[in-house]
Amino acid sequence: MLQNIRVVLVNTSHPGNIGGAARAMKNMGLSQLVLVQPEDFPSGEAVARASGATDVLDAALVVDTLEEALTGCSVVLGTSARDRRIPWPLLDPRECASTSLEHLEQGGQVALVFGREYAGLTNEELQRCHFHVHIPSDPEFGSLNLAAAVQVLTYEVRMAWLAQQGQPTKMAKLETTAMLNSQLVTVEELEAYFRHLEQTLIAIRFLDPEKPRHLMARLRRLYGRCAISRLEMNILRGILTETQKVVDGAACKKGEE
């Protein structure tokens, strides 16, 4: 699906940036590169910077006009190093990624358009775009290297695509593994734990049964927020049991005195 996103570089001066963009694209699973009047292409410097993404360079389409580069696209997203050059619907890279995926899902073709190193995109070119995309960089030094800007946008596209594929992110993977490794506790087990916890809190005088101050309700709410596994419940119960032993031991000693 990501092959339906094309990266359009307008009038690029440095072939190294074309190579860098090709590499960034291939890293993120994109393959369609379109070059509008590149100043120096093909070039050994582009190949060197592509470092293995030469297939993307070899397949790059070189055209004369932006119009040709955008043929067949259902949405065009133009990047700008400046926050607001002309009043236009403005997206950040994450919103750009979700908009792109919406179009891909409906069978559309997407164009991400990048400007010249020294001058960006002209106002006329920007007006050809449905949306403008700005990477929220420090306004004091807001302009990224062209290939770096390609990397940021294609990374966001990849993250959105992975999420859409149901391919878990790192945290989701960790949680799934934890759940698979140990079963979750049932409500009965949780209730037994709360009874044990309450007794222990009374024993250590943290909870005054005369003045409970919603403590148990608050703790229930806290535990309710996490999916506790049986293994974790055993640890919690173990802590309570040991706490009670210490409390009982202290009480016995007092009695002996």
List interacting residues with ligand SAH (CB under 6 A): 79-82, 114-115, 117-121, 133-135, 137, 142-144, 146, 149
**CB of residue 15 to ligand SAH, shortest distance in Å:** 15
Other CB atoms within 10 Å distance of the CB of residue 115: 22
Rounded CA-CA distance 95/128 in Å is: 19
CB of 59 to ligand SAH, least distance (A): 21
Two structure tokens written together for 55: 């297939």
Kindly tell me which of 149 and 233 has the beta carbon lying closer to ligand SAH: 149
Task: Provide, rounded to whole angstroms, the least separation between the CB of residue 64 and ligand SAH.
Answer: 19
- Tell me how far apart the terminal alpha carbons of the chain are, to the nearest angstrom: 78
Nearer to ligand SAH, 75 or 233 (CB): 75
Report, in Å, the least distance between residue 12 CB and ligand SAH.
Answer: 9
**Nearest distance in Å: CB 118, ligand SAH:** 6
**Closer residue to ligand SAH (CB): 94 or 220:** 94
Nearer to ligand SAH, 82 or 221 (CB): 82
* Residue of 68, 44, 67, 70 lying closest to 57 (CA atoms): 44
Smaller CB separation from ligand SAH, 116 or 158: 116
